[in-house]
A and B are shown apart, each in its own frame.
Chain A
Amino acid sequence: MRSFRRSFLPPVSDWPALSWKALINGRAAWLVLFASVALTMLGIYSINVATSLEPKGWEALPDAAFKQAIYAGAGLVFCFALTIPNYRLYGAASWVLLALAVCLLVFLLVPFVPASIVRPRNGARGWIDLGPLDLQPSEFAKIAYVMVLSWYLRYRDNHRTFVGLLPPAIITAIPVGLITLQPDLGSATTFVPALFAILVAAGARLKHLAIIVVIAAAAAPAAYPILKPHQKERFVGLFKQLQGDTSADQDINMQSVTAQRLAGAGGMSGVGEEQARTLLHFNALPERHNDMIFAVICNRFGFTGGLLVLGLYGLWITGALITAAGAKEPFGRLVCVGLTAFVATQVFVNVGMNIGLLPIVGITLPYVSHGGSSMLAMWGMTGLIIGIAIRQPISARRRSFEWDDE
């Protein structure tokens, strides 16, 4: 047993220092990079299939796929640029970064900003029009938030008391509140699992967290009346679907039902590319290059394709968590966990709404869905994780987050 532990999960102090050399030798950040590249490529291909009836080859990609390829290139550059400075510098600057993100979020809500700068999409004021790129500040707010929270918690132990959970909650409430006002309830809710994941990793008492979850679950129905009508409608639609009631299939459930139909049509290994283009085009799935891209992948590659996508995220998450496990420094550890939580949450919510398990909310599939801000933010996360993986000190200044389990 001891030899197993030694070979597989050696005590942190026994781990060799991570370095470029170590990474090249097969360390975990490779998994993250590999998954990111694979998902991005798959995304560009799927957007191509989803948005054009005729195959036009890689040299004449349809508009959306071409843009996505550009975003991916920009993302890759952004990723490696982020690895250049020591990631701890970001921690030091994290409050400033979050303040910047909050400013942008506030800017979105300023009523007299003209529609040429902040153009509401589907009723949500979430984008700043920058010409070639529509900047979605909430995507970057996620990263800044993870860094702030990780920086804040890195040397503390007061979050192991109930009252000590209050400051992290307040830090969370600021971006969540601003994003909810856009309104983009979907993005806002992804912050909560991230908060919990970071707290769990940072050694908060599970009992405290469990109490909060129970109270929140009990209080959740009370929040229903304050939802906007279109938000309520989606819940009603989901309930109808789960009960097998098809009465809403032509209206509120149209998007969800179409996505499920197309995903299901893929079968075990998917339909051919040409048939996929045809089916997608004439079934007119809304947002198929964007939020509903997972249905497109399942249509094209079937159950196998769906599993492959989930497997790539599994790889990403595993790589990120191993990086966290290997990190000797508390800020890096928590950043890895926080980013993983965001990615995992988005994957589950997006895939869930594509296959009829969750109501339709505006959440993208990381690396795959069309969108510049999302792509840059995601590759930024990849860059951060690589940065953390390659810049571990020889030994930790002190063993972090090690207390006796309650």
Chain B
Amino acid sequence: MRITELIPSMFHRRLLLLLLAMGVPLAGVVAQLARLTLSDQAGNLAKAEERLVRHQWTPTIRGRILDRKGRVLASDRPSYNVTVSYAVIAGDWPREQASVAAKRAAGHTWWDVTPDERRALVADFLPVYLDHVDRFWTTLADRIGISREDLDQRRDRVISEVERKFDAAVRVRLESAVAEAKSRDDDQTLDVLEPLLAAGASSEYLARIAEAIRTAKARGDSFAEATLKSLEKTCKQPIAEQRGQHTLAARVDDSLAFSLDLISQETVAPSLKLLNADRVSLIDVARVPEVPAMPGLRVSDSGDRAYPYESIEVEIDRVSLPAPLRSDERAVITVDGVACHILGRMRDRVFAEDSGARREFLDRNPDLAEAASGGALSDRGGYRDTDRVGDTGIEGSQEHFLRGLRGVQTRHLDTGEVEVLGAQGGRDVALTLDIMLQARVQATMSKELGLAVVQPWHHQESSTQPLGTVLSGAAVVLDIDTGDILAMVSTPTFTREQARTDPESVFSDQVRMPFLNRAIAKPYPPGSIVKAMVLTEAITRGLHTAEQRIACSGHLLEDKPNILRCWIYKRFQTTHTAQLGHDLQGDEAIMCSCNIFFFTLGARLDTAGITAMYRRFGVGNSFGLGVGVESQGHIGFIEPGTNRSPNDGSDLETPDAIQMGIGQGPIAWTPLHAANAYATIARRGVKYAPRLILGTPRPEPVDLDLSQAAIDLAILGLQKSVTDKLGTGHHVRIDEHDEVTFNAEGVMVWGKTGTADAPDLIIDPDQGGPRRAYLAQEGDHSWFVVLVGNDRPQYAVSVLIEYGGSGGKVSGPICNQIVHALKAEGYLK
């Protein structure tokens, strides 16, 4: 049936048509409403409810670092920085604000007027905000207590620094655009972009691009114009520094910080006295928004880290010093940068790697991850832009423990209820160090005391070390019973202030290398200090016996008197056999440090035996103390282009084993390796892993199964070395007098000297460039390692002085002073 028959009235048909036409939008509306309410309800409700709570972090405190006696070596102290946003510093803010105000005041008129009128309106408002900012600077300078000129200078410094960084960023963006075009083989784009990189004033890239756009436009080259315009857009992107806050006054006191923080939240109506009134009919000044009284100002909690023992005054009794330095007056020495290598430093910038490292740490420590999560919230210990991060040393390695967990304040806006999840301070980390002993050891090696300075009695033969040269070195004091590191000094050291203000002097001095922790990070040839270990190994292996004697013939090979000589033959043209009147037993060989004896044992041990010996005593492994770079030492030759050696003897031959019998040839270790090897001998062959952090789990001690007779013999030799007149560590000859090396009363010392032939230090300032390489240091490294105790070996002390010369003459007196330091700090009676 036709519709006209069903509904004869056309008007009624049309009404029906209109009604049906409404069905289409109705269906759409109902469908969308159903989608929102029925299928997305849960998500929408959750999102809406999120608005009912506000979370706010509350600050936490970083854990302290303590020494073994509970002295606080590092702790947080409240401190505040006064920062201002870059937009205000650089003067963009008044323009932005004028534009906002003009737009608001004009209301809908804004859209009706011409662009020129809009610009004029903004210009009308500009003086208002320029004046506001100007008054802000004056007030701020007044509040921080500096002159307006000083404040302006600080601003200028920030601006020039940020502009420099921006220019560098623009250049990098330009270069990457070129590189990208190159990778696409896009010659057309390259032709446009490459001329921009041509040499010239470095900071003119944006101007150059603008100029190039004008030229392209004039030429009608639309491709170049479009390419350059898109490049300009990329290059103009602000860098982080242009969006961030910049410190204008660091570490201000609490009261100033609090008062500025309060003012920073105040807003005021801008004074419109300076408003240009020409166009006032277009605007409603009542709509001009309020502005912060102190625009861009923010007081940030800088959470300054304090290191109260960074600088320590030490009193040293000079009575026990060698005669030329001896005095009845006590020396008062201020040592700076105490344990700086160990405690490490903080940095102000957060890197992406930090967050990655934290995630890994939390993955490994699910219980800590649980504590950090704070319920539904993200990691309470996570990194935020303004955080300070432990960078090096203990601050770096223990970062995740030291770092606290922020508190969370959850405010339920609807009920007004506030839930507080308290901040949790970071864990304290207690070190095995005794900071006062550390300071004393450092003072012992200071320029002021004079022991680590080239002295006449050193008989230094090196051309690079004239009299008065301050020597670099390292010393380690180990507690034999526990393996605790009581002191670990590397000189020269540096202060945090120095690293901040003059980083070149810390990180770029290739000769003195203050940043380097010589006690663990640099391997040195050990020289004669290994003789005790070689003896125990040879006897343990049955290649020698406690009673067997070896003749010192002056030179090992009968027909070659110029190589493999004993030091006594080299210097005095005699032999130890002649000196003693008989061939040498093991203890005597250690006492006189006879090379022929140990060449012979080296030959008997051969490559496999000598390699096993060094490995047994720790070479080839580092200790994992967590205070930065550690060297594992090396056995064998360094593979070219790497810093590694095979460490398994595979590249050694018998002549190498002979040399290694006296600690020369392809062998090197660190002062910590040396102290630990001696502590192992003192424990009669039981090896502990040295530790620096109290309470950390350690690997089980390892019994090396050394022959006890051999250990007795070695310990006897070490004792004779410092107590027998013929011992190399017994005395130092000064001004025709023999001075006993160790003079602490009531203390027993077992020790061994080492004078190790060292490779020359040649510095090539520009790595193969036009500047000539030069010989910076040459000569022997000076070693002395002792075991000390009141009645038994309690502490192992190793001292190394780089290019210092004779072990007995240079390191001996330093070692003696460390024994005195142990007494002074109560470790020895």
Contacts and interface: CB of A to CB of B under 8 A. Distances in A.
A400 B14 CA distance: 13
Nearest to A280: B48
Contacts of A264: 36-37, 40-41, 43-45
Interface stretch (A317-325, A370-378, A379-387): A317-325
Interface string B8-28: 111111110111001001101
B33 A201 contact: no
A124 B107 CA distance: 9
Interface in A1-44: 1, 5, 9, 11-12
B249 to A, nearest CB: 34
Contacts of B30: 307, 310
B108 A267 contact: no
Contact of B10 (A351, A352, A401): A401
A321 B15 contact: yes
B11 A402 contact: yes
Interface string B48-71: 110110000000000000000000
A136 B352 CA distance: 58
- Listed residue (B1, B7, B40, B48) with the most chain A CB atoms within 10 angstroms of its CB: B48
A52 interface: no
B47 interface: yes
B417 to A, nearest CB: 13
A355 B107 contact: no
A200 B25 contact: no
B15 A324 contact: yes
B111 interface: yes
A337 B18 contact: yes
B48 A229 contact: no
Interface in B411-434: 413-414
B110 to A, nearest CB: 8
A12 B9 contact: yes
Nearest to B36: A264
B11 A298 contact: no
Interface in A274-289: 278-279, 281-284
A230 B108 CA distance: 10
Given A5-B6, A9-B12, A197-B18, A262 B48 contact: yes
A356 B28 CA distance: 11
A11 B8 contact: yes
A228 B111 CA distance: 7
A203 B45 CA distance: 49
A267 B38 CA distance: 5
B108 A120 contact: yes
Nearest to A285: B48
A384 B385 CA distance: 66
B108 A125 contact: yes
Nearest to B3: A405
A260 B44 contact: yes
Interface in A120-153: 120, 122-125
A229 B15 CA distance: 39
Contacts of A195: none
Contacts of B15: 201, 321, 324-325, 337
Contacts of A12: 9, 12
A107 interface: no
Contact of B37 (A267, A341, A352): A267
A212 interface: no
Nearest to B48: A265
A278 B414 contact: yes
A402 B33 contact: no
A355 B13 CA distance: 32
Interface in A154-208: 183, 197, 200-201, 203
A402 B9 contact: yes
B33 to A, nearest CB: 5
Contact of A306 (B9, B37, B51): B37
Contact of B32 (A123, A283, A324, A356): A356
Given A264-B41, A306-B33, A405-B4, A201 B18 contact: yes
Given A264-B40, A266-B37, A357-B28, A200 B12 contact: no
A39 to B, nearest CB: 16
Given A124-B108, A261-B47, A405-B4, A355 B14 contact: no
Contact of B33 (A1, A124, A263): A263
Given A357-B29, A403-B10, A405-B10, A263 B36 contact: yes
A301 to B, nearest CB: 10
A201 B414 contact: no
A78 interface: no
Contacts of B108: 120, 122-125, 183
Contacts of B48: 261-262, 265, 279, 283
Interface in A326-378: 333, 337, 340-341, 344, 348, 351-352, 355-357
A58 B25 CA distance: 36
Given A123-B107, A230-B111, A268-B37, A200 B18 contact: yes
B11 A355 contact: no
B156 interface: no
A351 B29 contact: yes
Contacts of B51: 279, 282-284
B262 interface: no
Contact of B41 (A11, A266, A325, A333): A266
B284 interface: yes
A124 B19 CA distance: 33
Given A279-B52, A337-B18, A401 B44 contact: no
B34 interface: yes
A303 interface: yes
A303 B11 contact: no
Interface in B247-264: none
Nearest to A344: B22
A201 B17 CA distance: 9
A18 B732 CA distance: 134
Contacts of A284: 51
A298 B37 contact: yes
A281 B412 CA distance: 13
Given A267-B45, A352-B29, A321 B8 contact: no
Give the one of B8, B28, B36, B111 with max A CB within 10 A: B36
Contacts of A321: 15, 18-19
A333 B284 CA distance: 48
A405 B40 CA distance: 46
Contacts of A282: 51-52, 413-414
A278 B52 contact: yes
B37 A405 contact: no
A229 B108 CA distance: 11
Contact of A405 (B13, B41, B414): B13
A81 B34 CA distance: 40
A219 B1 CA distance: 39
**Top 9 A-B residue pairs of the complex, sorted by shortest distance between their CB atoms:** A123-B108, A264-B44, A264-B36, A267-B41, A265-B45, A303-B37, A278-B414, A265-B48, A265-B44
Interface of B: 1, 4, 6-15, 17-19, 22, 25-26, 28-30, 32-34, 36-38, 40-41, 43-45, 47-49, 51-52, 107-108, 110-111, 284, 413-414
22 contacts: A122-B108, A200-B17, A201-B18, A261-B48, A264-B40, A264-B45, A265-B41, A265-B44, A267-B38, A278-B414, A279-B51, A298-B36, A302-B37, A303-B33, A318-B19, A325-B15, A344-B22, A352-B28, A352-B29, A355-B36, A401-B11, A405-B4
Given A125-B108, A264-B43, A402-B11, 11 more contacts: A1-B1, A201-B14, A201-B15, A203-B10, A261-B44, A262-B48, A263-B33, A266-B41, A282-B51, A357-B32, A402-B10
